[in-house]
Amino acid sequence: MRLTKKFCALVSSLAAVTASAQGVAQVQPPAPAGANPAADDARLRDALRRALQGDTPPPASPVVPIAPATPPAPAITDGPITAPSVTTRSYTFPTTNAVMIPMSTNATTVALSLEEAIMLALEHNRDIQVERYTPIITEYDRRALYGYYDPALAASWTRTHSERESGGFNQNTGNTFDTSSETKGDIFAFGLGGYLPSGMRYDINENFSHTDATFREIDPLSTNQTVVINRNDTWAVAGTATARQPLLRNFWIDAPRLQIKLARRFVRISELELERYVMDIINQVEQAYYILVANRELVRAGEADVNVKRQFFDEQHRRVEVGALAPLDEKLAQAELALSELNLHTARKNAVDAEAVLKGLIHDNFIGRINTHLDLTDRMLAIPPQLELFDAFKEATDKRPDLQAQRIRLEQLQIQLKYDFNQLFPALDVFGTYGLNGLDLNLRGALEDQRQRNIPQYSFGLALTTPLTMWRERNNLKSTKAAKAQEIRRLKALEELVVQEVDFQVRLMRTTWNILPLLRQRVKYQEDALEAEKKKLDAGKSTTFNVLQIASDLTQARTEEIGTLRDYNQAISELNFRKGTTLERWRINPPPRTDP
């Protein structure tokens, strides 16, 4: 009596689920019972036994095991364990059946392996396409800095003209100007100047000056004020070479050389960041691929669970029709069927969502791929972990791109420190000028004077400039030293974080590996328990509630096994990402690197 009350309470609580299940699965009414109740009862018992023992024809969508049989899990310690060969694609296994997800009638099916998904992501992923430009931009910026040493060519032409009328007087002497003049001049200047990597400034100039002066004056010896015209036409040539070299400040490093050295490392950092970003996308593709495989396996498990419970409900319904079973057992089986169908719809929805995530990672035209169904050809396998923990630590600290980038940032601060230290010295420059001049009535003669060095000139000297207190320079140096100390601690913290991440992934991988055999054993025990409970039900020593409960526990055990196998494969992918060996694992060449 108490068991009947419990059944009534359970049916009342699941009334809403039962009502919704009527719209999900319509059960056909059984045929009328025959004239011989005893024969009908025997026939129904035999059909129920066959349904519970799995002798009924297989469903349309067969259940595919999630992984091949594997040997018992070995005892895993912190000792050395081997890693799968990089050249062996042991993670791939062709699947024989694909989960049929409800799609539009014009959907196309495309076979996709994990390696093909990764290659598609490298080619079509929008984020990678954007990030690829960062190293290119930084490289162009670096090259532009060398324009500081590009010699600058200068050329100019200047025309001058001046006139002075006669009749004026000198205010200082009081003498009158009886002479008028007109002067015309042309100046042609050519120069080449620039900087050398040593900090030297050089200038080479060549100037041509032509002067045509006309003077009109009254001849003092003439009685009729005759005007005398005198003309002065001359050419002057001046060629000079000037150099100025720092000896203390800005000698071994100056601002342009500082920017170039920093820019080289910025290029290397951008390449490492791109490499890290590509690894991240590949890891996301692997995670999404395993999630989709697992979700489709869960759909298969859900379909199998629905088929078994629907068959069990049909048999229970027939037994109620012939009066061999109480109606309460039929309602209980119907409620369990509705719950299984609800779980199946949720599993199908999760599989469709996972497929959309994978499509978004590997394609750049999501709308064009909506009606494409991905038939995954790789499966999740339980490969024994083969890894030495401390070797993984060393590999991660050596190969992680973000760690390498952090070390390069520390190099940049060391270069900045060198520059700030150099600025503490006074600016002591040595300079010198050497020139050759020429002067004649024509250009050829002036050039001949220059060629023969008739009018040489030179100068040289030292120039000293220094701030009195060096206040700015000393504080800049202190600031850079503090920034370097901060960067060293930041690097140590990142190294510690990397080791912790690797340790966590190794422990997760080993834990899931150790759990997998236990879950397989649990599935086997649940199957044995279900068979035993079926026999007890046939003998009248059990109830429908117990059989359905064990069947649900079996489905839950299979679900946990699939989830753990998914977590194990994801842990392997995440571990390679945390170690910085994702590209090496997939034999992908990293972006070309620039030596700083």
CA of residue 466 relative to chain centroid, distance? 48
Measured CA to CA, the distance from residue 590 to residue 271 in angstroms comes to: 9
CATH code: domain 108-134+265-401+489-585 is 1.20.1600.10
Is 53's pLDDT higher than 60? no
**What pLDDT, in 10s, does the model give residues 523-579?**
999 888 888 887 887 777 877 778 788 888 888 999 999 999 999 999 999 999 999
- Ranking 10-19, 165-174, 287-296, 402-411 by mean pLDDT, the lowest is 10-19
Top-ranked range on mean pLDDT: pick from 37-51, 80-94, 287-301, 368-382: 287-301
pLDDT tier at 315, thresholds 50, 70, 90: confident
Residue that is written with structure tokens 């083969």 in the block: 386
Is 208's pLDDT higher than 80? yes
Above pLDDT 70, what percent of the chain?
A: 76
Measured CA to CA, the distance from residue 527 to residue 550 in angstroms comes to: 9
**How high is the pLDDT of residue 106?**
66
3-state DSSP percent of the chain in helix, strand and coil, to 5: 55, 20, 25
Domain ranges in the chain are 108-134+265-401+489-585, 153-249+427-465
**How high is the pLDDT of residue 74?**
33
In this structure, what are the phi and psi dihedrals at residue 377, rounded to the nearest 5 degrees?
-100, -10
**How high is the pLDDT of residue 314?**
84
What residues are paired with 245 via a beta bridge? Answer: 430
Tokens of residue 513, six digits: 């590996």
**How high is the pLDDT of residue 454?**
87
For the beta carbon of residue 369, count every other beta carbon within 10 angstroms.
18
Query: Strands 427-440 and 227-246: what pairing?
Result: antiparallel
In this structure, what are the phi and psi dihedrals at residue 423, rounded to the nearest 5 degrees?
-75, -10
**What pLDDT, in 10s, does the model give residues 429-454?**
999 999 999 998 888 888 888 888 88
**What pLDDT, in 10s, does the model give residues 400-435?**
999 999 999 999 999 999 999 999 999 999 999 999
Tokens of residue 437, six digits: 């001049």
- pTM score of the predicted model: 0.73
Q: Which residue has the higher pLDDT, 54 or 549?
A: 549
- Ranking 108-122, 191-205, 220-234, 297-311 by mean pLDDT, the lowest is 220-234
**What pLDDT, in 10s, does the model give residues 319-335?**
788 877 778 877 888 88
Above pLDDT 90, what percent of the chain?
A: 54
